[in-house]
Structure 1
Amino acid sequence: MSGWRDRRLAERLGLSTPIVQAPMAGAGGVDLAIGAATGGALASLPAALIAPEAIIQQISTFRAATGAAVNLNFFCHQLEPAEDAAWRDALAPFYAAYGVGYPAVPPPARAPFGPRQAEAVEQVFPEVVSFHFGLPDDTLLARVKATGALIVGNATTPAEARWLAARGVDAIIAQGHEAGGHAGRFLGADPAEHMGTIALVPQVADATGLPVIAAGGIGDERGVAAALVLGAALVQLGTAYLFCPESLIAQGHRDLLAGEAAEHSRVTNLFTGGIARRLPSPLFDNFGAVSPLAPAFPHAAAALAELRKAAEAAGDGRFSPWWSGEAARLGQALPAEALTRRLADGALALLGDAR
């Protein structure tokens, strides 16, 4: 019997592989999405950090290059007032050392999904819309559903998966703690309770009966095959795609991914205020990886903005969100199309499947 048992999403989306290229806000983009889609993956475009007008333009560029399905990804965090005075005070020695200060005009905070984003979705009709940090309110969610898009939510616990299923999502990303970038936790569970992918995937599948997209710590064809055996319908990879020439990461980020530092990623809240897995940073020596001084997501990033600019100009990424999952050492520097085909063909061969 085939090891890739749940093909509901692949059949509905016309996918020839079980692969999803993760959105990765700030690191993914239209060129990466086109390459992954050409290789047969469900391509994703990160829409959390760009204006609705840019979303429309990127979808247009994607559609001109390929007729494949695309996933638009948004954040649904609660944007509370910034309370970052203690964080700014703690950063004062760095401001002095780098000759900068708190930005006179802080950069816009990451905006949660709202009416303008919903209007963009209504204009471009993506095949999939996925949400991180929960779901938008019922009115906004109904607008997205009315476009015909599949709705995908992100769960880090079985309880979050049940919550998403009760609100009518079509599929669930089961995000293990091994994943790079932000953990999509939204029900307030202790971060220490975040399950690993191998435990989470079958529990989400059993708890909801919905198609599950496995994510977290999957870096090669062996991990893809294992996730499919666990019951995943598709397998989402992010860090693996950072190695592609089409990704938007800095050279310093690439250098760390290619070296021993890739074996030492840690979860941290220093860079945005949200819990996220990152490559080692000298900033950990000053504050630890997780500090109560960092304000809630996304406000911690504002106080780092000028420091990040100054440090990056000198080739130093200590203040930059250089995310990475635990499987980074398995990365291969291949174009996105070639990587997708290699992952899919290798995983299906291990399972005795042929494309």
Structure 2
Amino acid sequence: MPSMQQLFPLPIIQAPMAGGATTPELVAAVSQFGGLGSLAAPLLAPLAIIEQAEHIRRLTDKPFAINLFVQPRPQIDFAALEAAKVLLQPVCAELGMENLPTPTRWCEDFDAQLDALITARPAVASFTFDVLHGAQLQRLQAAGIRVIGTATNVAEAIVWQAMGADAICLQGTEAGGHRGTFIGAQQDARLGAMELLAACRPLIQTPLIVAGGIMDGAGIAAALAAGAQWVQMGTAFLCCHESGVSALYKEMLQKAKGDSTRQTRAFSGRLARGLDNRFMQMMANVADQVPAYPVQNALTGAIRSAAAQQQRPDMMSLWCGQGVSRSRAMHVAELMQTLMNEVQAAS
């Protein structure tokens, strides 16, 4: 089985971004150019994972990755659920929603998703929110699938190395979207990407990926010079024409000035970074009281849908990283070429 280093020639991994951003077209375009495109599958049903993998294969014969959240089925505390609805009532009122519906489904079944991923046979599978069991990791590697684990602190990187991951993605606090923390409190994972890399390098022999705030070739060159084998970039691809986020979402990203992001639990019950907006501000004082992911994420689904329908970006979850003000709207191939030109200029 080829190593991760032999799979794709360029040191760029496109981050998996759940919620529709990573279309098959985006994933295929990154892989076709020589990076590693990643399909975010945490919110996809098992059959959809297989179908989207086949769609990617119709667009490119190059390797790609599929990402999943490692999570058990939640145990629902219905009293806590009603309390969470009360916390969200001011937001509902602002959007003209009389009642917040109780979701009929909280999340996809991870075991079924993992079976579908193995059936789909991507070259790489990446995981966040927790660590795999040894038997699960062995199933993937026996199927010829390389495994990337996500770490937000040194302890997590050590665990993924001990489990036998093929690579470890070090997610710095600058990164957009959800934090992958599974050891310790999420708010205690405070290291930036380059700080986390420096802390892990003396202890970790597994190849390392750096993620968080990398938007250009200079950032890529700096990470590689510091000892990373690859960088993972998400926000940099959100404004690409192949990205699946809405036109309004892209417009808000391109209007962003400086670091206009913050982390919040209010949307999903797990710390995630996105554009600061009215929803985050309204929920700031109660964000620590909402149910854990995926319960809060499912509960706010109706709010996010209403906000999108009403063209209210101030109430939408606009996930992105701290480098958002440097987003570029172009085709993937053009962005990839630009990045590689910048790497060469910076090296």
Map residues 54-203 of structure 1 onto 2, 5 A cutoff: 54-82=48-76, 83-111=80-108, 113-114=110-111, 116-203=112-199
Q: Distance in 2 between matches of 1:56 and 1:71?
A: 12
Q: Is the 8 A contact 2:4 2:146 kept in 1?
A: no
| SS of equivalent residue, structure 1 residue 126 | coil
Residue 86 of structure 1 contacts residue 293 of structure 1 at CA under 8 Å; is this kept in 2?
Answer: no
Q: Kindly indicate whether residue 211 of structure 2 is the aligned counterpart of residue 212 of structure 1.
A: no
Question: Is 1:253–2:249 an aligned residue pair?
Answer: yes
Please state if 1:24 is matched with 2:17.
Answer: yes
Q: Give aligned-pair identity as a percent.
A: 33
TM-score by length of 1: 0.90
Supply the distance in 2 between the matched residues of 1:32 and 1:289 (Cα, whole angstroms).
37
Matching residue of 1:276: 272
Contact in 2 for aligned 1:21/1:238 (Cα 8 Å): yes
Report the alpha carbon displacement of residue 120 of structure 1 after superposing the two structures with TM: 1.6
Partner residue in 1 for 2:47: 53
- Alignment correspondent of 1:243: 239
SS of 2:22's partner is: coil
1:5 is matched with which residue?
A: none
Cα separation, 1, equivalents of 2:84 and 2:33: 44
Instruction: Report SS of the residue matched to 2:313.
Output: coil
- Alignment gaps of 5+ in structure 2: none
Question: Structure 1 residues 247 and 121, CA, compared in 2 at 3 Å: closer, same or farther?
Answer: same
Q: In structure 2, what residue type is equivalent to 1:41?
A: G
Q: Cα distance, 1:288 vs. partner?
A: 1.4
Q: Residues 244-296 of structure 1: CA distance to partner in whole angstroms, max 9, x if unpaired?
A: 01111122221221123562100101110010001011023322177122110
Secondary structure in structure 2 of the residue aligned to 1:210: coil
Q: What RMSD in Å do the two structures reach over aligned CA positions?
A: 2.0
> Partner residue of 2:4?
9
CA contact (8 A) 1:274 1:296 kept: yes
Equivalent pair of 1:29/1:45 in contact (CA under 8 Å): yes
CA distance in 1, matches of 2:305, 2:73: 24
Tell me, in whole angstroms, the C-alpha distance in 2 between the residues paired with 1:290 and 1:132: 26
Letter in 2 for 1:229: A
Measure how far apart 1:132 and its partner are.
0.5
Q: Does 1:305 align with 2:301?
A: yes
- Post-superposition CA distance 1:178-226 (Å, at most 9, x none): 0000010001235134210111113223211111011001011110111
Equivalent AA in structure 2 for residue 62 of structure 1: I
Counterpart CA distance in 2 for 1:276 and 1:112 is: 22
Contact 1:106 1:302 in 2 (8 A): yes
Counterpart of 2:333 in structure 1: which amino acid?
Answer: E
Q: Is the 8 A contact 1:266 1:289 kept in 2?
A: no
- Contact 1:225/1:350 (CA < 8 Å) preserved in 2? yes
Indicate whether 1:43 and 2:37 are aligned.
yes
Provide the rounded CA distance (Å) in 1 between the counterparts of 2:10 and 2:286.
Answer: 38
Equivalent residue pairs, number? 342
Ranges in structure 1 where 5+ consecutive residues have no aligned partner: 1-7
- 2:201 is paired with a residue whose SS is helix
